[in-house]
Amino acid sequence: MNGGSAYIGYDENADVAFDGTVAKITGGTGSDSVYISTNGTVTGDIDLSSGNTILAFTGSGATIDGNVTATTGDDTIEASADTTIAGLFDLGAGANGISITNGATLTLDFLIASSGTLDLSVDGELAQNTADDLEFVNLTIAS
């Protein structure tokens, strides 16, 4: 994607809807948006590349089995429903944000912010994967 949007799972307002499972998502330059709703699953990696990106989890049961990487740009991750990211979650550089709303639980394995800041807003729970410790590496909490 170069400034596009992808919707995984059901979303009544979606331009493009994928029902079920997607193997991999790669974003190019520009502002990309990825929306993963109820029971949407990404079995591989999400590479958000450069640009400003919104990765939104809008339905309970959203799962990413691979890694999430955002290299540069100001990236925002929004979880309004229970979500699991099983792989490495690397926000890269920039003024990044994680927003958890509606009492949702965002379960992570390993979180890295290589430089820049992380604006963390939690109305719910930021949890660790039961198999591993949640590790914050080189992370500055902005809020």
Domain count, the chain: 1
Residue 65 lies in a domain: yes
- What would the pLDDT profile of 30-41 be if each residue is shown by its tens digit? 677 777 776 677
Q: Is the pLDDT at 81 greater than 50, yes or no?
A: yes
**Residues 125-137, buried b or exposed e (16+ Cβ, 10 A)?**
ebeeeeeeeeeee
Residue 119 lies in a domain: yes
The pTM is what? 0.73
Residue 142 lies in a domain: no
Token representation of residue 89: 């979650």
Residue 54 lies in a domain: yes
